[in-house]
Structure 1
Amino acid sequence: MTLPAPAAPFGRALCAMITPFSPAGDALDLPGAQKLAAGLLSGGCDGLVLNGTTGESPTTTDAEKTALVRAVREAVGPGTPLVAGVGSADTAHTVELALAAERAGADGLLVVAPYYSRPPQAALEAHFRRVADAVSVPVMLYDIPVRTGVRIEPETMLRLSEHPRIAAVKDCAYDLLGSAGVLARTGLAYYAGSEELILPLRTAGGTGYVSTVANAAPGELRAALDAYDRGEVAEATRQYRRTLPLVELMMAAGLPGTVTAKALLNALGMPAGPVREPLQPAAAAVTEALLTAHHDLTAQG
């Protein structure tokens, strides 16, 4: 037997979508973003996360962030979950971004822990509560201490779960024990933000994932979840394992996932464009390896 399907406020299979840019990288490619979004949804994604880490949020302007949400909402219609990344190192600015994203059509907000200043847990809690108090859509907390320098500790998660609009967590903490403990004591929907933990987190009661790799392999990535939810544990394991070579190349080979995702999408003829500095494009040999792994994955059943 498998665990029953948990609450899924934004669906189960979410793509952390790249932000397509013009060839020079100085403007958004909004038609490309609309095309990519539609293809991801038809390819197996339940919803999309825009303006996150993979979406290069540190190098897009506030106006670009809002324009991207509005354009993708126009393309996918009202029934598709769109979660907008609105986190920053400044609480007041985060609230401004949250309100703008909600007005632009976001169904939910991805709020990362404030980075660089490394606030203590009481300040973290106050930050998230202030954002959640300001909006009327659900909030997904983004726990990624390797980038922010601060963990949202399990006890803080427990307190934040009591807020009526804090509904979910994007979990990149690499602490399955801590995550499982919060899952056992709250109604928070946990989404794996690290592809290698998609199936392990689901078996602990998680909801699904927010994935960078889904930009290039949306259907293949969700196959493990689908098999698990059908009660086919051996098939879920098989599907999970066959994604790992591409996951390793895209997420654990020394380059940011944004760089590898854009390299692969460009090579596949999909809208992507360049990365913005300080990121640099992947080398030709990296792109060739990505293409080979992608072909091997998508050619399998």
Structure 2
Amino acid sequence: MTNPGDTTSSSRPFGRTLCAMVTPFTDAGALDLDGARRLAAHLVAEGCDGLVLNGTTGESPTTSDAEKAELIAAVREAVGERVPLVAGVGTADTLHTVELARAAQKAGADGALVVSPYYSRPPQDALEAHLLEVADAGGLPVMLYDIPGRTGTRIEPETLIRLAAHPRIVAVKDCSYDFLGAQKVLARTDLAYYAGCDEHILALYAVGAAGCVSTVANAVPAQVAAILDAFDAGDTARARGLQLRATRLIEAMTAAGLPGTVTSKALLGALGLPAGPVRAPLRPAGREAADGLRAVYRELTSG
């Protein structure tokens, strides 16, 4: 089993500080590929060593299959081979998920992020079969996305432990809010865990996670990377301080009533970075919420 302190590529198959990147749109609502290139380059320059595209924060439910592939290709062009690109491919339909995984690989992705099928809420045996079929059919290594609050279906720890035997299932983006369950899987498998909830970045990293897939990193990539830098340097007091200092922004962006996509785009727009509008049914942050986000951002980044 991999040592929790190991920093080799096998223990971090997709990097360490990944951003769940928004999908920039033009003012008219079209895919903004030039904006995506500029945003991706900015995030990498500021400390992200991996990017997740077409995920929850990337508004995958409202982008077309063609747009998803175009986004991957554009970001690959912008960042070259410097950082891994993980593409969200999960849908409620197994065959469609397989198609998206193959298209993502063709477009230049390095990994596939596969969420549990939503709405149909398959039992664990059906869920396991779905995930195995996707892993078997595609050529990309797979990051499983456990986010039962959105899908309605947990990938249970025992299911994850069985799935870890598949050679292409290598990682988990954990939004389960089950810290005990995550530790059980870490203790019994070589799966690379990535904290998908920003408030868990340091806690999960401290017990052997590979890193994070951060929504907040859209706005403060350097600050997110600094938490993990401090821990890697053995300065756990500094890591703790940085994590706690980020708490207000984490709460404002992910737990204050607005989706992370909305809050990320509000902040990116205020910072003059590519973002654009959100697509319906999401709606932009209101003025009061946007002003509050900017105030918390300034508090975190000043001094």
Residue aligning to 1:90:
93
Q: Percent identity?
A: 65
Residue 216 (structure 2) aligned to one of 197, 213, 216: 213
What one-letter code is carried by the residue in structure 2 that aligns with 1:187? Answer: D
Alignment match, 1:70: 73
Q: Which amino acid aligns with 1:289?
A: G
> What TM-score do you get using the length of structure 2 for normalisation?
0.97
Q: Hey, what's the Cα distance between the residues in 1 that align with 2:251 and 2:71? A: 29
- Pair 1:172 & 2:175 matched: yes
Matching residue of 2:296: 293
Look up the SS of the partner of 1:220 in the other structure: helix
User: Counterparts of 1:186 and 1:29 in 2: how far apart (Å)?
Assistant: 40
Q: State whether residues 266 and 272 of structure 1, in contact with CA within 8 Å, keep that contact through their aligned partners in structure 2.
A: yes
Q: Could you tell me which residue of structure 1 aligns to residue 247 of structure 2?
A: 244
Aligned to 2:188: 185
Letter in 2 for 1:17: M
State how far apart, in whole Å, the 2-side matches of 1:233 and 1:285 are: 36
Q: Which one of the candidate residues 104, 113, 117 is aligned to 1:114? A: 117
Instruction: Give 3-state SS (helix, strand or coil) of 2:136's partner.
Output: helix
- Structure 1, unaligned stretches of length 5 or more? none
CA deviation string 1:246-301 (max 9, x = no partner): 1010001000000000011111111000000000010111111111111111113x
Indicate the SS of the match to 2:246: helix
Partner residue, 1:140: 143
| TM-score of the superposed pair, with normalisation by structure 1 | 0.97
Aligned pair 1:161/2:172, yes or no?
Answer: no
Contact 1:112 1:143 in 2 (8 A): yes
> 1:144 deviation in Å?
0.2
Q: What is the CA–CA distance in structure 2 between the aligned matches of 1:254 and 1:23, rounded to whole Å?
A: 24
Between the aligned partners of 1:298 and 1:102, the Cα distance in structure 2 is 37
Structure 2: gaps of 5 or more residues: none
Aligned residues: 298
Q: Secondary structure at the match of 1:167?
A: strand
Question: What amino acid is aligned across from residue 203 of structure 2 in structure 1?
Answer: P
Are 2:240 and 1:227 equivalent residues in the alignment? no
- Please say if residues 43 and 218 of structure 1, whose CA atoms lie closer than 8 Å, have aligned partners that are also in contact: yes
Aligned to 2:20: 16
Deviation at 1:3, TM superposition (A): 5.3
Tell me the C-alpha RMSD between the 2 structures: 1.0
Deviations 1:174-209 (A, max 9, x none): 000000010000000000000000011011111110
Counterpart code for 1:13: T
Secondary structure (helix, strand or coil) at the match of 2:75 reads: helix
3-state SS in 2 of match to 1:38: helix
Amino acid of the residue matched to residue 195 of structure 2? A
Q: What is the alpha-carbon distance in structure 2 between the residues aligned to residue 163 and residue 236 of structure 1?
A: 34
Counterpart Cα distance in 2 of 1:294 and 1:37: 20
CA deviation after TM superposition for structure 1 residue 79, in Å = 3.0
Do 1:161 and 1:188's aligned partners in 2 also have CA atoms closer than 8 Å? yes
Equivalent pair of 1:20/1:32 in contact (CA under 8 Å): yes
Deviations, residues 148-188 of structure 1 (Å, cap 9, x unaligned): 00000000000000000000000000000000010000000
Residue of structure 2 in register with 1:203 after alignment: 206
Assess if the C-alpha contact under 8 Å between 1:5 and 1:229 holds in 2. Answer: no
Moved over 2 A (4+): none
Partner SS for 2:143:
strand
Determine if the alignment matches structure 1 residue 4 to structure 2 residue 5: yes
Cα-to-partner distance string for 1:103-144 (whole Å, 9 max, x where unaligned):
000000000000000000011111111111112221000000
